[in-house]
Amino acid sequence: MCEKIHVGIIGLGAYLPDRVLTNKDLEKMVDTTDEWITTRTGIKERRIARADEATSDMATEAAKRALNDAGLKAEAIDLIIVATITPDMLFPATACLVQDKIGARTVPAFDISVACSGFIYGLAIANQFIGSGTYRHALVIAAEKLSAITDWNDRSTCVLFGDGAAAAVLGPVEKGGILSAYLGANGKQGELIKLPAGGSRIPATKKSVDDRLHFIKMNGVELFKHAVKVMAEAALEATRPLGLKAEDISLVIPHQANLRILNAVAKKMGLSKDKIYLNIDKYGNMSAASSAVALVEAVKEGRIKKGDKILLDAFGGGLTWGAIVIEW
């Protein structure tokens, strides 16, 4: 009988643009205050990519750093997945652009569009391919240039988002690795956050631009309620099959949408707040890249030790959600 292949993260890398946009800077752009943003969201500043810097550029830099961390060359990669809602263009896929830029072989490369749940969806897909023995090494990259689809005149959304990228190299490990993954979606709630134009429903026209339909539209209050519910449920669904309780999880790496959402999730899960990794103050909501960058930084800061069981947990536009348990 074939032995089970344990699939783990064997390399990590992140890329954050240099430019920092603070809440004070935003005070000069829209009718808002540092105090409102901080108390309502936990965000103090976010990174903004250069005008000539696209999602594939950030994704490529993160991928190179992850490959370096894994001690692998690009030729060793058998599969490339990019999670993004801000691809360089509708097609070709950003993953194909990254494949070329890092000098990978002509391996399968595709994007997934599940907003903030993208990194977790990507890890779950790669886990299936490696776990089944189809591929040996996969690159899962989460990269977003949300500043390109943010309405900088809309104070209810522009204070929330930022740009960044992170990548993980997945491969076989001796033990542990990804222990369980739980994914979900509910298309009925798709209206709560969306980019209305630029696709086949509303192609770009002068009117669509004048109506500002190429920017994120969001119902924040409704999303807030769903976020708390589905993140807590996803955590439960991912841990229950393993017989794990909240206290068995060393650290939760959540999607960083709002500090108040994360405090509410911690309460619902019966977890102390210090078990929830936070970096929302520095980067805001980077959609798919948020949980990925958080994982990279948590490892770098020594918050995750060998043998720890960690939980990644996210929700996003779609709506989509997902949670994954990894033994480090």
Applying CB under 6 A, the span of 51-59, 177-185, 213-221, 242-250 interacting with ligand ACO comes to: 213-221
DSSP string, 193-239: EE--SSSSSS---HHHHHTTTTS-EE-HHHHHHHHHHHHHHHHHHHH
Query: Where does residue 191 fall: left (phi above 0), alpha (psi -120 to 50 degrees), or beta otherwise?
Result: alpha
| Residue 142 interacts with ligand ACO (CB under 6 A): yes or no | no
- The residue within the footprint of ligand ACO, chosen from 164, 258, 271, 283 (CB under 6 A), is 258
Closest approach of Cβ 284 to ligand ACO, in Å? 10
CA-CA distances (angstroms) from residue 325 to 115, 268, 272? 20, 18, 18
23 has catalytic annotation = no
Catalytic residue among 23, 116, 158, 258, which? 116
| Residue 288 interacts with ligand ACO (CB under 6 A): yes or no | no
DSSP bridge pairs for 321: 184, 315
Helices (H), the chain: 23-27, 34-41, 55-70, 94-102, 118-131, 155-158, 206-210, 220-239, 259-269, 280-283, 288-300
| Residue 317 interacts with ligand ACO (CB under 6 A): yes or no | yes
Q: Which residue is nearest to ligand ACO (CB)?
A: 220
Q: Nearest to residue 95, comparing CAs of 68, 77, 70, 72?
A: 77
**Total of chain residues touching ligand ACO, rule CB under 6 A:** 23
**In angstroms, rounded to a whole number, what is the distance separating the alpha carbons of residues 10 and 183?**
22
- Which pair of structure tokens corresponds to residue 147? 């500043």
- The residue within the footprint of ligand ACO, chosen from 41, 99, 127, 256 (CB under 6 A), is 41
Binding to ligand ACO (CB under 6 A): which residues in 74-103? none
Applying CB under 6 A, the span of 9-17, 31-39, 86-94, 298-306 interacting with ligand ACO comes to: 31-39
CB 164 within 8 A of CB 58: yes
Which strand (E) or helix (H) includes residue 170?
A: strand 163-173
**Closer residue to ligand ACO in complex, CB, 30/173:** 30
Which strand (E) or helix (H) includes residue 182?
A: strand 177-185
| Residue 115 interacts with ligand ACO (CB under 6 A): yes or no | yes
Closest approach of Cβ 166 to ligand ACO, in Å? 16
| Residue 131 interacts with ligand ACO (CB under 6 A): yes or no | no
214 has catalytic annotation = no
Residue tagged 């109506």 (tokens):
211
6 has catalytic annotation = no
Closest approach of Cβ 78 to ligand ACO, in Å? 29
Closest approach of Cβ 41 to ligand ACO, in Å? 5
Show which residues are catalytic.
Answer: 116, 255, 285
Chain positions contacting ligand ACO, by CB under 6 A = 32, 36-37, 40-41, 115-116, 155-156, 159, 193, 218, 220-221, 223-224, 227, 257-258, 285, 287, 316-317
